[in-house]
Amino acid sequence: MATTNKPLLQRQTVTAMVAEYIAGLIIAGDYPGGHQIRQEAIAAELGVSRIPVREALLQLEADGLVVIRTHRGAVVAELSSDDAIDLFDARIQLEPFLAEKAIARASEDDIATVETSMRAYEVAISRGESPKELSRLNWAFHTALLEPAMRPRSMAVVRTLYSSADRYLRLQIEPAKAQAKALREHRDLFDAYRRKDGAQTAGLLRKHIADAADEIVSQLRKSEAVA
């Protein structure tokens, strides 16, 4: 299998846990764009010192979730239709390309992994799992699709783009509708993937991302027009 095999016991550093904690709050929307993140407050909340908080914030800045200004601290990155376009366009350039490369290398096991993660997403939707869990499974599906391409660099880029894109996906007005559409598209994607039809998969993936982007951008434009 071409997927990355994680070490059995990966020592979790406090910095990593803090980063995950803050990222979760930002992606969930609990910390909206513009929110000031106070190191001391987070540190007290989690019962740690400010050092791991600062280091976590540096990582989140690299992920584009926060903006750090010298001696002024970290602020949650603002959402905007322009940013969404930037973000989703970058995904559209990278993901379909990776999907084609992945298909060219995918083993039967890799294809089985895609199917498994598709089904997991399916089940989670029918069970009405939390947005966070659905997002995790959606990402797992995309990962399974692209991982066989064996492009760790590109995957790292796609991963950071996705975590920001996730913020936008979470503010959709009709998530259930979007999820149902995503699920249908996942099925089509898997069908083309299984047949090892690279061009078809790439095209479907492009449309999958572009459609989600259109939905989000038009929604954002409306709220921006009001403000």
Footprint of a second copy (CB under 8 A): 10-11, 13, 51, 54-55, 58-59, 62-64, 70-71, 82-83, 86-87, 89-90, 93-94, 97, 150-154, 156-157, 161, 164
The residue (of 38 and 159) whose beta carbon lies closer to DNA is: 38
Please name the residues in contact with 176: beta carbons below 8 A apart, sequence gap of 6 or more: none
The residue (of 106 and 124) whose beta carbon lies closer to a second copy is: 106
Query: Is residue 39 near DNA by the rule CB under 7 A?
Result: yes
Query: Is residue 49 near DNA by the rule CB under 7 A?
Result: yes
Instruction: Work out what residue 153 binds among DNA, a second copy, none; the CB cut-off runs from 5 to 8 Å by kind.
Output: a second copy
CB atoms within 10 A of CB 77: 20
The residue (of 52 and 198) whose beta carbon lies closer to DNA is: 52
Could you tell me which of 218, 226, 55, 83 has the C-alpha nearest to residue 161? 83
Instruction: Work out what residue 34 binds among a second copy, DNA, none; the CB cut-off runs from 5 to 8 Å by kind.
Output: none
Query: Is residue 93 near DNA by the rule CB under 7 A?
Result: no
- Least Å from the CB of residue 186 to a second copy: 23
